Amino acid sequence: MPMTSALSTAVNVFASPGEAFRALRERPTILFPWVLICLGTAAVNWLYVSEVDLGWLTEQQLRAQTFIELTDAQIEDMVIAAAEGSRGGAIAQGVLGSFLVITLFMLIQALYLKIVSAFRKDGVRYKQWFSVVAWSSLPALLTSVATIIFIMTSDVRFVAQTGINPLSFANLLQLDLSEAGTAMSIMLSLSPINLWSLILVVLGYRTVSDSGFGSSVAVVLGPVVVVAAIVLAVIL
């Protein structure tokens, strides 16, 4: 895709999403938004890991996890190892992890839409769904920019990763997550930007599959409702 065309599509995703998705239905593209989102998230991880106290962060993560039971002595050994370890290695791990998580999330979401598409027999290809998912994620760049500014202007040495996004519901509502469980922390670390992206996926699905608004909402938000219900069940 020529750069001017990609930039035009990016502008339309924000200003005229219907026009953007009509163009992507005919000529689906993936690389431009995927690269931008990965680079933005990688920059956030790089800056955060460069500033955070690695020993403190490791202890918080180990005490929050419930999959493996660890003794205080084991946790202390891991904290010391993290504090004395290579920060460069931790940065590389964080950056690589962000690329993998973003890519895997897009692949799975596009696969889900393709499975629905196969049942509906609407003829929409996997690349078209991947394109919808990738471009719908573009607002995440706003989160990356806001978080980068927050990290560069604040002391984040003892701030959890769920607390560095100034646009998150927790920060917007000024909620303290120190006593919140893992599931609640994850939910409150989301932001209106995530809702914006979901709305874009709904619009993209409606445009590309030529479906009604109600069925588009049901298809896109169905998995979200299921996951939210499971999280609420865990919390309550």
Positive or negative, the CA dihedral 177, 181, 186, 187 is: negative
Minimum mean pLDDT range among 4-8, 62-66, 129-133, 180-184: 180-184
Give the position of tokens 């049901």: 218
CA–CA separation, 105 and 227 (whole Å): 14
Report CA-CA distances (Å) from 85 to 45, 82, 98: 17, 5, 20
What average pLDDT does range 47-51 have in this prediction?
94
Per residue in 171-218, pLDDT tens?
888 877 666 666 666 777 889 999 999 999 999 999 999 999 999 999
Mean pLDDT of the 61-80 span: 80
With a CB cutoff of 8 Å and minimum separation 6, the contacts of 167 are 142, 143, 146, 147, 191, 192, 193
3-class secondary structure, 195: helix
Confidence of residue 156 (pLDDT cuts 50, 70, 90): very high
Element (H, E) at 61: helix 54-64
Q: Read off the DSSP letter of residue 174.
A: T
68: left (phi over 0), alpha (psi -120 to 50) or beta: beta
d(CA 84, CA 158): 17
Dihedral sign of CA atoms 214, 216, 218, 224 in order: negative
**Residue-range definition of the domain harbouring residue 18:** 3-235
Mean pLDDT confidence for 37-63: 91
pLDDT reading at 53 higher than 80: yes
Q: What is the pTM of this model?
A: 0.87
- Give me the number of domains the chain comprises: 1
Mean pLDDT of 141-167: 93
Per the model's pLDDT, the better-predicted residue between 59 and 16 turns out to be 16
CA angle 168, 171, 172 (to 5 degrees): 80
